Structure 1
Amino acid sequence: MSDQDRNVPASVVQPALVLTTLVLNPRHPAVQAETSDLCRMHSRILDATVGMPDAGPRVLWAQPRPDVLAVRACEAVTAARLPRGYATAIHHRPWTCPDQPGRWLMVGVLNPGRTRRLGGPTRNQPDRRRLSGQPLLYTTPMRQSTWLARRLDGARLVDCASVRASTVRGGHRTERTITVRRVEMRAVWQVDDPGKLVDRLHAGVGRDKTWGCGLTLWTRAS
């Protein structure tokens, strides 16, 4: 190894992932149906990424505004993967998470909260099953910030703001209604060990990743 190589900061090797940002056509009938039904939009994501290699990180998506859809996958979502006229503009860029120590800006659509467990084994019922109750969702900025600060090893939360929250619903094939709370969050992190972030950020942060939560975007903080 040369002296020049020794002076190059170590970086984190990441699999190639692509962020596709779609500006949706509000007059398209499929757009109208899917932006008003969470489960229909989830099906659209599945259709748009079918056939892509599935050995890497899971597909994540977010809809920060009704007319914008972001999809992170191992390949770009092109117009050929969508109904004709579905989007008025399509943009692609690499998706990366922090690969160097320092200060980083994160934006993401998340659902701060935790799962509540009910039941479980007792002395008289050692085989009693533990069930999932209704999740506890954090609604105040302080609790959301505290929740986020615990999510990432290798980084310290410097500042956090919840920009907006919304509730979306969809009709599931089992005839039940899916209800998801989404919170758009902006945060500044001091990244100390980027290697510890990779698996978490690839998997997605928090709850309801299937339903448009968990995707985060990272840029160097100025």
Structure 2
Amino acid sequence: MANDSGSDARIRDGYAARAVEYTALFGDIGQMDDVDRERIGRWADGVDGRVLDAGCGPGHWTAFLVDRGVDAEGIDLVPEFIADASARFPQVPYRVASLTDADVPAGSLGGVLAWYSLIHASPDELLLLLTAARRTLREGGRLLIGFFDGPDGEAFPHAVTTAHFWSVTGMTALLERTGFAMIDSEARVQDGRRPHASISVVAI
């Protein structure tokens, strides 16, 4: 998922074609699970410094952070998402960018939120993205990542474009390889949904 890669184009075009539908289904914080709001809110309260919402999609989580008093910015590959988010949440800064081309000084951030935004990356691409996230964070900065829980790296037919499962153990190993240490993790299974997991880590 490096800048201007074929993977980037596939993801961007896939979501651009369904941006209106996706925003209607998932673009309001009130549509999000209470457990996720609690998880992300608690994480944000422990972050010291500016936060990047990487792959912000419709922008609702970035707005959620800003409404809590966090200095947060949202980036996404999909111009349609950024245009709509900027119109719906004019108090929040958004721009078109990717983690690997975020134009953020190294070591300048206190936090990176990657909530289901890295699910389409292949295993090799995911390592590059986690490395890019680590580069943006100062020592002690925090990353929160949400993903689908399952066999490590296994591809499945997501509604937009191919996505990948990761186990908590497998994702933790990748995070540790790219300069992070575990804070905590959680996982759950809900009827009618794919298994979910999230991991909070600190940059070391």
Q: TM-score, normalised by structure 2?
A: 0.32
| Structure with the largest fraction of strand | 1
Q: Which has the higher helix share?
A: 2
The normalised TM-score by structure 1 is 0.30
- Larger relative contact order, structure 1 or 2 (CA cutoff 8 Å, min sep 6): 1
